[in-house]
């Protein structure tokens, strides 16, 4: 699935303008790229320790992840991909994990919920969607995962909950600030780290329309993280980190359905 023609053209024009705006533009783009590769797990070093070989290898990892030609060079297409709207969770695991005997092991973060009934609470709501729409779209997202596994999800307004859901902006207390409209759309924490889901309040959250950022689709993705799944490099999967626009027939990919069943059982 690809970005819409208008969005892709606008993004390409913006990048080309940035590159041609002055002698320092290529340097700034490289700095941005290094920050991006570190943030999403493609370079496992602090920025001050990154050398040219680290940068090249990080680019190759990223290019392989997005299905591009692994040149190790910061070309226009690679730079454009770094500007795709996305989830701010890492793409590449940052720590060594036990080896498993099945292919989808790369999707497992390593923590799960012990409970089979998961309670969730919407703590703050967005400005662009009615509360009832938010609640119904969240229910659709939760049902997507519970349809293939033994988990049950219950929304509550009071009492203890497993997953807290917030619409917040900028710095919001978790060391992963949002960047305003576009760019990073949302992020979520794995079960061992609280399981909460945060959405950027600055986005134009929508439902059943190609306009704005589709809340149901992005909520379903973030919920995957809250249940213990990492990003997938399959662009058709719910757990792909990038948002390519509204998909009317949005559904679980076979690999991620099997992955969640391995974690929580088959329904």
The 3-state DSSP class for residue 75 equals coil
| Residue 179, annotated as binding a ligand | yes
| Residue 172, annotated as binding a ligand | yes
| Residue 203, annotated as binding a ligand | yes
| Residue 231, annotated as binding a ligand | yes
| Residue 195, annotated as binding a ligand | no
| Residue 174, annotated as binding a ligand | yes
| Residue 211, annotated as binding a ligand | no
Q: Contact at 8 Å (CB) between 223 and 71?
A: no
| Residue 198, annotated as binding a ligand | yes
CA-to-CA separations, 65 to 53, 139, 170, 188, in angstroms, rounded? 18, 31, 28, 21
Q: Known catalytic residue: 52?
A: no
The 3-state DSSP class for residue 125 equals coil
| Residue 253, annotated as binding a ligand | no
- Edge to edge, the sheet with strand 117-122 lists 86-87, 184-188, 197-200, 163-168, 117-122, 152-155
The 3-state DSSP class for residue 120 equals strand
Q: Which residues contact 151 (CB under 8 A, 6 or more apart)?
A: 113, 116, 117, 118, 145, 227, 264
Q: What are the E-state strand segments in the chain?
A: 86-87, 117-122, 152-155, 163-168, 184-188, 197-200, 205-206, 213-214
Per the rule left: phi > 0, alpha: psi between -120 and 50, beta: everything else, 110 is left
* Active-site hit among 18, 31, 52, 222: 222
The token duo for 47 is 């920025």
| Residue 200, annotated as binding a ligand | yes
Q: What is the DSSP string of 187-231?
A: EE--GGGT--EEEETTS-EESSSSSSEEHHHHHHHHHHHHTTB--
Beta-carbon count within 10 A of 170 CB = 11
User: What are the φ and ψ backbone dihedral angles of 229, each rounded to 5 degrees?
Assistant: -100, 145
Return binding residues for Ca(2+). 179-180, 194, 196, 200, 203
Binding-site entries for Zn(2+): 87, 172, 174, 187, 198, 221, 225, 231, 239
Positions marked catalytic: 222
Residues in binding site: 87, 172, 174, 179-180, 187, 194, 196, 198, 200, 203, 221, 225, 231, 239
């Amino acid at each position: 699935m690809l970005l819409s023609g208008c969005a892709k053209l606008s993004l390409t024009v913006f990048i080309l303008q940035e590159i041609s705006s002055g002698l320092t533009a290529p340097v700034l783009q490289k700095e941005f790229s290094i920050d991006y590769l570190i943030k999403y797990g493609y370079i496992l070093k602090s920025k001050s320790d990154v050398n040219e070989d680290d940068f090249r290898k990080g680019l190759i990892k990223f290019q392989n992840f997005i299905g591009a030609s692994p040149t190790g060079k910061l070309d226009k297409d690679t730079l454009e991909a770094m500007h795709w709207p996305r989830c701010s969770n890492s793409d590449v695991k940052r720590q060594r994990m036990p080896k498993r005997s099945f292919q989808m092991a790369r999707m497992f973060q390593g923590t799960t919920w012990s409970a089979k009934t998961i309670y969730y609470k919407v703590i703050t709501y967005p400005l662009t969607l009615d509360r009832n729409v938010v609640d119904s779209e969240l229910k659709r997202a939760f049902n997507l995962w519970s349809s293939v596994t033994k988990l049950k999800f219950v929304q509550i307004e009071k009492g203890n909950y497993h997953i807290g859901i917030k619409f917040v902006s900028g710095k919001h207390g978790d060391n992963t600030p949002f960047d305003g409209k576009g760019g990073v759309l949302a992020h979520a924490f794995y079960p061992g780290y609280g399981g909460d889901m945060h959405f950027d309040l600055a986005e134009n959250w929508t439902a059943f329309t190609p306009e704005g950022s589709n809340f149901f689709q992005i909520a379903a993705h973030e919920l995957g993280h809250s249940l213990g799944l990492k990003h997938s490099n399959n662009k058709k999967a719910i757990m792909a980190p990038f948002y390519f626009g509204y998909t009317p027939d949005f559904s679980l990919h076979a690999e991620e359905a099997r992955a969640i069943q391995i974690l929580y059982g088959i329904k």
